[in-house]
Amino acid sequence: MAVLVVNAGHKIITGRMIGGASPAQVEPTFMGWGTGAGTTAATDTTLFTEATYGGYSRASASTSQQTTTVTDDTYQLVATLTNSSGGALTFTNAGTFDASTVGDLFVKGDFSGVPLNNGDSIAFTFKVQFS
């Protein structure tokens, strides 16, 4: 299992710090999930087989600063995704993006499959600690 701020995520971080980056970087508040197999790598730009079935769209994540070691050293994203595929699916990876479709991948994680029946939901929390 791997969870990484991918290379494009570094661009988001530094672009937001500069503030005047061109194009301007927006907060990566959109969360998606996938059903494909693989191990997350820094060079990834997409999820493994991102779920795009009937009417599905990335969820809006709530974001906050959290304290892990020192005050406000962690950026946290939380979103709940619901399987509305019409059938059972097994999800194997999730990530956050700076757009509701396409966009730059910020952080991605893979995991052993989590099976969800149609209508079931799962909450994802990503924590990016700066240390």
Q: Can you give the pLDDT at residue 111?
A: 96
Q: Domains of the chain: which residue ranges?
A: 3-129
What is the arithmetic mean of pLDDT over 80-95? 93
Q: Is the pLDDT confidence value at 4 over 90?
A: yes
70 Cβ contact list (under 8 Å, min separation 6): none
Q: Cα–Cα distances in Å, from 127 out to 56, 58, 85, 119?
A: 24, 18, 28, 26
Beta bridge partners of 124: 79
Q: Is the pLDDT confidence value at 31 over 90?
A: yes
pTM: 0.92
